[in-house]
Amino acid sequence: MVSHFAAAGYRKMHRGKAKSSMKRKYKGFTLMELLVVIAIIAVLVAIAIPMLASQLEKSREATDLANVRSAYAQVSAEAMLGDTTATVTVDLKQREADWQSVDPVNIGGIVHSREQDDTDNWIGIATPGGSCVVSYDKRYGVVLTWSGRAAPSKPDYPFDTNENFFDVLYNAAFWTDGTLKNNQSFEFDSRCPDSDYIPAIQKEIDKLDNSLLQQADCTWAYLGFKKKNDAEQKKNCFLLWTSLDTNKVGGGKQIPVLIQTGDGKYYVSETTTHQRWRNNQKYVTVSERMADYKDLLNSDAEYSTLEAAYDAYKTALNNAKYDGVRGSSGQ
């Protein structure tokens, strides 16, 4: 016989189990779990959106190419039938300039890559909201004229166009350790043998990547005064550079030079080389009048960028008056 107390205990135990079961049944997510889920969803969305946008652009470009190829076929057929005046204009659906999905593009045998400039059969570039006019030219055949214009090709310079030549000088050991005293004048010509300073400068040049100072056969010279004040230093520091090997050119020869001043300006000028001796060794400096270097600066030949100054230097070097020095230096 089960006692009253035993029965009551049994019922109480089962009610406790039921409540515990209900608690487990309706237990939710913790805040940390929700944050993890949200983070995962955010990552997936961040990955998916660019991929989706890229696929949509590829689809739009595929549509544009198909429409232009159809227009090409139509104009070609009209030309074969004798009508060379037919034109077809295709409105483009793409939303990015040029072609993102294919390079080079081939339309009816007209092949064009993104790096190319205009050709006889391909003029301009595809642009968002633009168009392509397909026409026929008796000299060249079918011509594709896109509404955008091809960007002018940027010259490829054989050196780092952002370099500051004075970083080399200011990082040289003799400059940083006080070997060169303040207010002391200096003249460091790269052709000088057994120099106390050139090796330290060359060590810094060797650390550079694709510098104008690393070009084969070039000659350079740092000139000026060492100053305590940075502003004064910029006014009293000059670099002279030429692509010519002055030792091969010889002394007493006029040569073109590119000059950078400490304040970041560039000039193209002309110097006369000069033969000197050091420790019984002959060498030829980039200029005979090192002390008068400021006279070499001509405002008519001043440039704000290294690219512009280099272009002007190359133009000057190609002048017929320098044929002899170019030949002696192998240029």
Structure confidence by residue, pLDDT tens digits, 21-49: 444 555 567 888 888 888 888 888 777 66
SS3 call for 326: helix
Percent of the chain having pLDDT more than 70?
84
What type of residue is 324?
Answer: G
Distance CA 220, CA 241 (A): 4
Are 316 and 269 in contact, with CB atoms under 8 Å apart?
no
Distance CA 58, CA 141 (A): 28
Distance CA 200, CA 167 (A): 13
Residue where a domain terminates, one of 146, 180, 201:
146
List the domain range (segments joined by +) for residue 131.
57-146
Same domain, 170 and 297: yes
Q: Is residue 38 part of a domain?
A: no
Same domain, 139 and 176: no
Same domain, 169 and 302: yes
**Other C-beta atoms lying within 10 Å of the C-beta of residue 36:** 12
Same domain, 315 and 255: yes
pLDDT at 46: 73
Distance CA 12, CA 9 (A): 5
Token pair of 63 as six digits: 């549509």
Residues in the chain where the model's pLDDT stays below 70: 1-28, 48-54, 149-155, 289-294, 299, 329-331
The answer to whether the Cα torsion of 99, 104, 110, 112 is positive or negative is positive
Same domain, 110 and 194: no
Q: Is residue 138 part of a domain?
A: yes
Residue where a domain terminates, one of 115, 146, 177:
146
What type of residue is 189?
Answer: D
Token pair of 104 as six digits: 């080079």
pLDDT at 9: 47
Same domain, 84 and 118: yes
Distance CA 124, CA 139 (A): 19
What type of residue is 167?
Answer: D
Q: Look at the chain and report how many structural domains it folds into.
A: 2
Q: Is residue 130 part of a domain?
A: yes
pLDDT at 152: 56
Same domain, 135 and 178: no
Q: Is residue 48 part of a domain?
A: no
Q: pTM score, two decimals?
A: 0.56
Token pair 């400490």: residue: 262
Same domain, 253 and 139: no
- Where helices occur in 238-305 by DSSP H, the ranges are 246-249
For the chain, what's the residue count? 331
Same domain, 71 and 141: yes
Token pair of 267 as six digits: 């000039």
